A and B are shown apart, each in its own frame.
Chain A
Amino acid sequence: MAANLADTTANDIAELANKKPRTLWGDAWRRFKRHRLAMFGSIVMIVITVGVLIGPYVWTVNREELDFTAIMSQPVANHPFGTDDLGRDQFARALYGGRISLSVGFAAMVIAVSIGTLIGAISGYLGGYVDEVLTFITNLFLSLPTLPLLLLTVYLFRNDVTAKLGLEFGMFVIVVVMVGVLAWMQTARIVRAQFITLKQKEFVEAAICLGVKRSDIMFRHILPNAVSPIIVAATLEIGNAILSESTLSFLGIGFPPDTPTWGRLVTDGSQFLQTTAHLALIPAALIFITVLSINFMGDGLRDALDPRSRL
C-alpha cells in the first residue's frame, strides 16, 4: 500500500519532469494565437512575403515585356492584375514592387530600432545631463516635418548617391537611411522608459556589485528584459516605413520611374482612374493590406508580450 503510493508519486514526478515547462515565449505565443486579427495579419504577411520572394520564379512573365496585343487590359487569366498603357503585366510588376516595399520596410525598421534603442538605452540608464540632452533631441525630431524633410534629402542626395551605387540600389540606400533616421523617436522613448524602471531592479544592482562593465549591464543585462516592447515598436515601424516609401514613390520622388514600386504603380495607374481604375486601386490595396496586416500583428504582439498596456 505504502509502496504503491510512493510509486504513483514517483510516477507523477517523473511525468511532471518530462512535461515541457511553460516558457515566457510559449505563453506569449498562446496569447498571440488567441488574437484572431493578429493571426489573420500573420497569415496574410506570410502569403505576401512568400509570394514576392518566390513569385517571380513561378509567374515567369517578364515584367518589362511590352504586350501590344493587350494594352490596358482588364484583369484576365493571363494578366491577373491587368496590363498598363504599354501592355506590361501588372502582376509581374507588383510582385517585383512588393520585394522593394518589404525590404525597404524591414531595412528602415532595423535602422530606426537600432538608433532608437541606443539613444533610449543611454538616455534612460545614464540619466542626468545626458538624458536631458538626448530627450531634447528626441523631442526635436518628433516635431520635425518628416515628409517634407524626406523629400528634401532625397532631392539633394539622389544624383550623387545613385551615380555611385546605381539607380535602384542607390535610391534604396537613401530611402532606407532617411526613413530610418526620421523614425527612431518612438522606440527611443519606449526604451528609455524601460531602462529607467529596470535599472533600479536587483539584478542590475547585483551586476554592478560583480563589477560588470557598464555597456554589458546596459546591453546584456537590461536590454533582454526590455525586448518585448521593442519587438512591438519594430513591427509597427515596418508598416510605417512601407507607407513612407510608397508615399515617396507615389509623389514621383524616389525610385526611378521604371522601377515598379507599389507607390509608383498607384501614381501611374491614377492617370487612368476613369477608364481602368484597377491599375491604381490594386497596388494601393496591396499597400493597404500589407500595412493593415502588420498593424494587426503589432497589436497582437502587444497583447501577447505586454498584457498590461491597453492602447
Chain B
Amino acid sequence: MTQYIIRKILVAFPTLLIISVLIFAVLALAPGDPLAQFALNPAIPASTRNRIREQFGLDKPWYIRYYKWASSMTQGEWGYSFSSKSPVINIVMQRIPQTLQVVGISYLIAILIAIPIGVISAVKQYTLFDQVATFMSFIGGSLPSFFTGLSFMLIFAIHFHWFPIVYSTTLKITDFVTLKQAINQMVLPVLVLVVQQTASLTRFMRSSMLDNLPLDYVRTARAKGLNDWAVITRHVVVNSIIPVITLVALGIPGIFAGAIITENLFRVNGLGQLLVTSIQSSDTPVVMALSFIFSILVVIFNVIADIMYGIFDPRVKYN
C-alpha cells in the first residue's frame, strides 16, 4: 500500500512538469512586451531598456527562461506583487487556508449528503423519493454558482439575517463567540459549493448503483440469506463507490472554479478572490503564481483521489 501511494505521488510530478511548461508557454507566447511601458517614458533610453531586458534574461531563448522560472518557483522565489510590493509567496500562503477550508469542507459535506441519497434513489428506483432526488440533482447541476450564491445571500443574509453577507477577513478566533462567528460566515460560501457538488455526485452514485444492482453477485448475496441492508451496504455500495471516486477526482477542477465564484461573491479572502483582483489590477507575478498554485492543488487532490481508489478497490495492484 505504501508503495502504491509513493508511486502515485511520483507519477504526479511529470504531470506537474508538463502543466508548468504549458502555463509557461502560454505566458511566453502571450503578445505584449513586459517593458512596453518603459518605451513610452522618454527618461528611459533604448539602451537602458535593453540592459533591463538582459538583466531579467528576457533576451534568452524560452527553454533557458523556463529553467530559470521553474528553479526559482521551486525555491519559493515567486517575485514581488506589482500592487502591494510584498513577496508573492507570502501573499499566496496567507490565502491558501481559506480556500482549502471552503473547498474541503464543502466537498466533504457534499459527499456525505450525495452518497446516501444516490443509494436510496437507486434502491427505490422510480419511487417518489427517486423522482424528486433526480429532478433536484438535475436542477442543482444546472444552477450557476452565482445564482445560488445571490439567492442564498438574499434569503438567509438579507431577509432572515441568519448569516453575515460579507465574510470578515479580520476575524480572529479567540473564544466561543468568535468561533461561532467564524463558522457562521463560512456557512453561505460553503453551502453554494455543496449544492453544486451534491447534485452531480448524487447522479453518479445513483447510476453506478443501478449498474451494480442487477449483477449476479447481488443475487448470490440475497440467495445466501443476507438481509437487504447488508446486501446494499456491504456489497453493492462498496462496489458502486469505486467508479464514483474517479468522477470525484474529475470534479476537482470544477470545485475550484466554484470556489473562485463563491469567494468573490462573499468576499472570502482566498486564492480565488486574489486571482480575480490581481487580474483586474494587472498584477502579473501574482496571476502567474496563482495559475500554478491552482494546478498544483488540482494535481494534489487527484493524487488523494487515486489513493482513495486504491483503498476502496482491492483489485488495484499495488506493485
Contact = CB atoms under 8 A, between A and B. Distances in A.
A311 B200 CA distance: 11
Contacts of A152: 23, 26, 279, 287, 291
Contact of A146 (B211, B257, B276): B257
Contact of B257 (A37, A147, A273, A310): A147
B27 to A, nearest CB: 7
Contacts of B144: 243, 246-247, 250, 284, 287-288, 291
Which one of B19, B150, B250, B260 has the highest number of Cβ atoms from chain A below 10 Å of its Cβ? B150
A239 interface: yes
A147 B260 contact: yes
B290 A148 contact: yes
B276 A151 contact: yes
A246 B302 CA distance: 27
Given A142-B250, A310-B211, A295 B142 contact: yes
A285 B282 CA distance: 31
Contacts of A151: 260, 275-276, 279
Contacts of B146: 246-247, 250, 263, 266, 270, 284
The dominant DSSP class at the A interface is helix
Nearest to B290: A148
Interface residues of A, number: 45
A148 B15 CA distance: 17
Contact of A277 (B138, B154, B275, B295): B154
A149 B287 CA distance: 10
Interface string B243-273: 0000000101110110011001100000000
Given A148-B275, A155-B279, A284-B146, A247 B210 contact: no
Contact of A266 (B27, B150, B280): B150
Given A251-B260, A270-B150, A281-B154, A288 B27 contact: no
A295 B158 CA distance: 31
A273 B153 contact: yes
Contacts of B191: none
Contacts of A62: none
Nearest to B154: A277
Interface string A42-75: 0000000000000000000000000000000000
Interface stretch (A12-20, A156-164, A226-234): A156-164
Contact of B26 (A153, A277, A291): A153
A148 B26 CA distance: 13
Interface residues of B, number: 53
B150 A156 contact: no
A239 B142 contact: yes
B210 A273 contact: no
Contacts of B139: 292
A274 B158 contact: yes
Tell me the interface secondary structure of chain B in the complex.
Answer: helix
A143 B32 contact: no
For A151, A246, A253, A287, the residue with the greatest tally of chain B CB atoms inside 10 Å of its CB is: A151
A14 to B, nearest CB: 44
Contacts of A281: 147, 150-151, 154
Contacts of B314: none
A266 B265 CA distance: 11
Interface string B269-311: 0000001100110100001001100110111001000000000
Interface string B151-170: 10110001000000000000
Interface in A285-304: 285, 287-288, 291-292, 295-296, 299
A253 B141 contact: no
Interface string A240-271: 00010011001111000000000100100010
B291 A251 contact: no
Interface in B115-168: 138-139, 141-147, 150-151, 153-154, 158
A252 B146 CA distance: 13
Contacts of A155: 279, 282, 287
A136 to B, nearest CB: 9
A140 interface: yes
A160 B32 contact: yes
B18 A159 contact: no
Given A148-B260, A273-B154, A288-B144, A251 B276 contact: yes
A277 B154 CA distance: 8
Interface in A136-182: 140, 142-149, 151-153, 155-157, 159-160
A134 B258 CA distance: 28
B138 A292 contact: yes
Contacts of B204: 311
A148 B151 contact: no
Contacts of A102: none
Contact of A144 (B32, B138, B261, B298): B298
Interface of A: 37, 140, 142-149, 151-153, 155-157, 159-160, 239, 243, 246-247, 250-253, 263, 266, 270, 273-274, 277, 280-281, 284-285, 287-288, 291-292, 295-296, 299, 310-311
Given A148-B291, A155-B282, A160-B31, 5 more contacts: A146-B257, A151-B260, A266-B146, A288-B143, A310-B210
12 contacts: A145-B297, A147-B253, A148-B260, A148-B294, A155-B279, A159-B31, A253-B279, A266-B147, A273-B153, A291-B142, A311-B204, A311-B207
Interface of B: 15, 18-19, 22-23, 26-27, 30-32, 138-139, 141-147, 150-151, 153-154, 158, 203-204, 207, 210-211, 250, 252-254, 256-257, 260-261, 264-265, 275-276, 279-280, 282, 287, 290-291, 294-295, 297-299, 302
